[in-house]
Amino acid sequence: MRTSIIRRGPHPVGAHPLSPSGRAPGSPPRGPSPGRPPARGRRPRGRRAAGALLAVAALLLPGCAVSGSTTEVSLAGALPSRTPEALAPYYAQEPRWRECATAGFQCATLRAPLDYGRPGSGDVKLAVARKKATGPGRRLGSLLVNPGGPGGSAIGYLQSYAGVGYPDEVRARYDLVAVDPRGVARSEAVRCLDGARMDAYTRTDVTPDEQRERQALVASFKEFGKGCASRSERVLPHVSTVEAARDMDLVRAALGDRRLTFVGASYGTFLGATYAGLFPARVGRLVLDGALDPSLPARRMNTDQTAGFEAAFASFAKDCVRRSSCPLGRSAAQAGPRLKEFFRALDRAPVPAAKGGRELGEALARTGVIAAMYDEGTWPRLRSALTAAMDERDGSRLLALSDGYYERGADGEYGNLMFANAAVNCLDLPAAFTSPDEVEVALPDFEAASPVFGEGLAWSALNCAYWPVPATGAPRRIEARGAAPILVVGTTRDPATPYRWSEALADQLASGVLLTYDGDGHTAYGRGSTCVDSVIDRYLLTGTPPADGKRCS
């Protein structure tokens, strides 16, 4: 796995993304087919975390003051409420809506300054889509959605799920709107490697046993970064979360809304919280589901997420061993050691995985297993995939889970997700590690957090050490004083965004209200809890949050 942990998937900050696409790992790149929305309770989510931690990067916002501790950066003040003259033309834009290729949706393109510090030095194009309110009832304005990542396409999520799968009463009163953040999908996408080179990158051993393998891993990170620099030179220094949040304010103004109403999942919670810190007076109704803690440095985020995946695997193992089809033994205590031995066997000798000569090695197998940890609905598929690989030497099913995580198409080419994920994560936070020696020192902490996944996730977190653009962000608290009530939602056994991150963000935000879902899986809204869904729907429709600390199951 390679990405930065946070998007909705399985990798450490700067290595693999959390799952950003807003869909379950292994599902089609754009989620369910149009016209076939998933049943309520099976909503796609941001995904990808392990190697990239869905981009939990916390950027140093303008106006931030840094104290002595790297974890004590606090928001000293929001941006001025008055729009600077240089930005006035951007705020005065009116979208020219046209029919999207997907029926029932409208699309438009807006401009944003490539560099907010130099508004006249060039623009970046932002792709926007909407599904107009269906009625009846008074229209409440626009509701922006973001599925996570970083790197997940908000437009893909809107068109494949939210525009048809959000509750009827919400779709009746709101225009549902999505903007692909700069560098993502339709908004001047970051590109890094072609399909063949990306295949090699995803196969690279992330549990090096010797100096030669360590050098190969470092070389793969360097090649990835150089590819991004050569193919995306113009936009690469300007895809931070702070800039994406400022873009959202341009979109809000273009839509004619006085305040922003927003539902963000996984990395989308960091995007929403960053917006609140910059523009507290413009906060409307914000739902931050599966939250990140912006005060944490990258290494701590990675170890926290590593522990989250271990907890998710423990839940999977308990479920698996109760079934005769489980290939990991008859007791939960056997499951972890057996899986680790399977990984070691693949490190020695990969197994056939698909036509065309592809094989399943340790790195791809680890990614496939972690991908299935995002949603307990994927557990049966993982059991079947492990059985086929372990007992029948058929790695094709586990490889398919890995391919879904990486957004690898049948043609061997990759979506933009992993490229954007690394680009955002490596800008948002200083690297978790700066050298292989630092990883070696930290390995005991990662392996204590997860005996099964710790070693691989620790090494995956080395990727930002070789990023071609220096980080512009830093860990910081976000308080957003003066903002309207902000609803933070946390799931107790969330693998990618641990529950304590939601507790921390709700505590930091001056107007934060915490809603707890006692359950498994990544994020809570639309997972089948009538309690969670009704609380969030009521907040969106009336502006009334629940009592702080409310719990649902």
Residue 340 placed within a domain: yes
Task: Please check whether residue 376 is in contact with residue 315, taking contact to mean a CB–CB distance below 8 angstroms.
Answer: yes
522 catalytic residue (yes or no): yes
Least confident segment among 51-65, 354-368, 410-424: 51-65
Closest-CA residue to 505 (of 325, 287, 359): 287
- Residue 314's pLDDT is 96
Residues 6 or more apart in contact with residue 69 via CB below 8 angstroms: none
User: pLDDT band at 77, cuts 50/70/90?
Assistant: low
Beta-strand ranges (E) seen in 86-232 are 98-99, 106-113, 123-131, 141-146, 174-179
Q: What is the DSSP string of 352-416?
A: E-STTS-EE-HHHHHHHHHHHTT-GGGHHHHHHHHHHHHHH---HHHHHHHHHHHTB-TTS-B-S
Task: Quote the CA–CA distance of 542 and 534 in Å, as a whole number.
Answer: 12
Backbone angles phi, psi at 88, to 5 degrees: -55, -45
Distances (CA, A) of 95 to 110, 283, 387: 7, 22, 52
pLDDT given for residue 354 in this prediction: 77
Please indicate, yes or no, if residue 6 is contained in any of the structural domains.
no
Q: Are 446 and 308 in contact (CB under 8 A)?
A: no
> Active-site residue among 375, 494, 520, 533?
494
Residue 122 placed within a domain: no
In a domain, 343, yes or no: yes
Mind listing the pLDDT tens digit for each residue in 387-407?
Answer: 999 999 999 999 999 999 999
Query: What's this model's pTM, rounded to 2 decimal places?
Result: 0.88
Q: Region 244-255: what's the mean pLDDT?
A: 98
Stronger pLDDT, 368 or 45, i.e. the higher one: 368
Predicted confidence (pLDDT) per residue in 4-54, tens digit:
344 333 333 333 344 333 333 333 222 222 222 233 333 433 333 333 333
Going by their DSSP bridges, the two strands 351-352 and 260-265 should be labelled as: unpaired
Task: Tell me the average pLDDT across 192-219.
Answer: 98
**pLDDT of 278 over the 60 cut:** yes
Q: Does 63 have pLDDT greater than 90?
A: no
Question: Could you say which DSSP state residue 151 is in?
Answer: T
Question: Does residue 381 lie in a domain region?
Answer: yes
Dig out the tokens for 271 from the structure. Answer: 């995007």
Least confident span in 21-25, 107-111, 244-248, 332-336: 21-25
- Confidence class for position 356, pLDDT limits 50, 70, 90: confident
Q: How confident is the model at residue 316 (pLDDT cuts 50, 70, 90)?
A: very high
Q: Which of 181, 203, 182 shows the shortest CA–CA distance to 193?
A: 203
Active site residue 16: no
Residue 1 has what pLDDT? 52
Instruction: Say whether 11 is catalytic.
Output: no
C-alpha distances in Å from residue 425, one per residue of 171, 291, 469:
32, 16, 11
CB 497 within 8 Å of CB 52: no
pLDDT score, position 35: 29
Confidence band (pLDDT; 50, 70, 90) for 68? very low
Give the total number of structural domains in the chain: 1
| pLDDT band, very low/low/confident/very high, at 352 (cuts 50, 70, 90) | very high
Cis status of the peptide bond prior to 136, with omega within 30 of 0: yes
Whether 395 is covered by a domain: the verdict is yes
DSSP letter assigned to residue 194: -
**Percent of the chain surpassing pLDDT 90:** 84
* Residue in 266, 315, 502, 511 annotated catalytic: 266
387 forms beta bridges with none
| φ and ψ at residue 6, rounded to 5 degrees | 155, 30
What is the extent of the structural domain holding 341? 323-406
393-442 pLDDT, tens per residue?
A: 999 999 999 999 999 999 999 999 999 999 999 999 999 999 999 999 99
Segment 293-309, tens digit of pLDDT = 999 999 999 999 999 99
Catalytic residue among 11, 16, 238, 522: 522
Greatest CA span in the chain, whole angstroms? 68
Q: Is it the case that residue 225 has pLDDT exceeding 90?
A: yes
Grade residue 221 by pLDDT with cuts at 50, 70 and 90: very high
The answer to whether residue 193 is domain-embedded is no
Residue 62 has pLDDT above 60, yes or no: no
Query: Which pair of tokens denotes residue 293?
Result: 């803690």
Over the chain, what is the mean pLDDT? 88
In the predicted model, what is the mean pLDDT of residues 375-386? 96
Calculate the alpha carbon distances from 176 to 138, 151, 367 in Å.
15, 20, 33
State the burial class of residue 222 (Cβ atoms within 10 Å of its Cβ: 0-12, 13-18, 19+): middle
